[in-house]
Amino acid sequence: MEQQVIVAHDLKKIYQMGDVQVQALAGVSFSVRQGEILAIMGPSGSGKSTLMNILGCLDRPTSGEYILDGEQVAKLNDDQLASIRNRKVGFVFQSFNLLPRSTALANVELPLRYAGVGKERLERAQASLTAVGLIDRMYHKPTELSGGQQQRVAIARALINNPAILMADEPTGNLDSKSGKEIMELIINLNKERGTTIILVTHDPSIAQHARRVIRLRDGLIVEDV
């Protein structure tokens, strides 16, 4: 039997907006197997971002259970969550979020610095850059790279700790269609070669079609899971 990477049970998130309580997630339950590609879709206000934040351990649910790669994370404190993010989650953002003054190599090895990895840092960062095909640009700064290349650096950074899941939030949103396609191919290949579990958060159906499974959200609830 394949291992369950994500087990979410009755996740609820309630925000306090002044006097009004806003229910962003109204009880979401699902599970994700190792090596799956999952797309989370939904219009804005559907709770899509909230779910992504909770799955990526950036935020805690108000109630419910969330088990990521065998660890209960719903009740952890800030520093424990930071450690989980560091070891088990790789993020790819729409706007790349690279450190502008650091080289590609320095950007990629940043998670290892926070993990306290010393000697093998350089080696692993180079290996990760090789995996995304940018080893010859490792001393370039983000401003000297194209959008597609920057996103590749971001993917290399997300992969460096061999995370259990790769969270990609509109990974092609800031790219032209050609680079967007290349990035998606890269992500799909990573899934094939390494078996990395991938969660795509998007409202673009052409991105979602790469996923074998799509979860649609509306008003904080799952309306479709195919």
Partner 1 sequence: MNLAQAALEAVESLTSNKLRSGLTILGIVIGVAAVIAMLAVGTGAQNAITGSISGIGSNLLFVFQGNFTETVRNVQPLTLADAYALKDEFLAPSVAAVAPVLQKSLTITYSGEQTTAQVNGVTPDYKSVRNYTLTEGDFITDENMLGQSSVVVIGPEVADALFNRREGLVGETIRIEGQPFRIIGVLASKGGSSFGSQDNVVMAPYTTTAQRLIRRSLDRVDTIYVQAVSPEDVSSASDQVAQILRSRHRTNLGADDFTIFSQEDFVSTANTITGVLTIFLGGIAAISLLVGGIGIMNIMLVSVTERTREIGLRKAIGARKRDIMIQFLTESSLLSLFGGLVGIGLGWLIAFGVGQIAAASNTPFTPSVGIDAILLATLFSTAVGLFFGIYPANRAASLEPVEALRSE
> Judged by CB under 8 A, does residue 122 bind partner 1?
no
| Single residue of 101, 192, 194, 212 touching partner 1 by CB under 8 A | 101
CA distance 137 to 197: 27
Binding string, residues 23-62; x marks residues near partner 1 by CB under 8 A = ------------------------------x--x-xx---
Q: How far apart are CA 76 and CA 4, in angstroms?
A: 20
User: Which residue from 12, 33, 87, 181 is in contact with partner 1, where contact means CB under 8 A?
Assistant: 87
User: Does residue 91 bind partner 1 (CB under 8 A)?
Assistant: yes
Structure tokens at 34: 């190792």
Q: Which pair of tokens denotes residue 156?
A: 């290399």
Out of 116, 119, 136, 226, the only residue in the binding site for partner 1 (CB under 8 A) is: 116
Residue 174 interacting with partner 1 (CB under 8 A): no
The helix or strand, by DSSP H or E, that contains position 214, with its residue range, turns out to be strand 213-218
The span from the CA of 107 to the CA of 101, in Å, is 9
Residues 63-82 that bind partner 1 (CB under 8 A): 78-79, 82
Smallest distance, partner 1 to C-beta of residue 141, A: 11
Q: Which residues pair with 21 in a beta bridge?
A: 16
Q: Which residues here bind partner 1, judged by CB under 8 A? A: 53, 56, 58-59, 78-79, 82-83, 85-87, 91, 93, 97, 99, 101-102, 110-111, 113-116, 157, 161
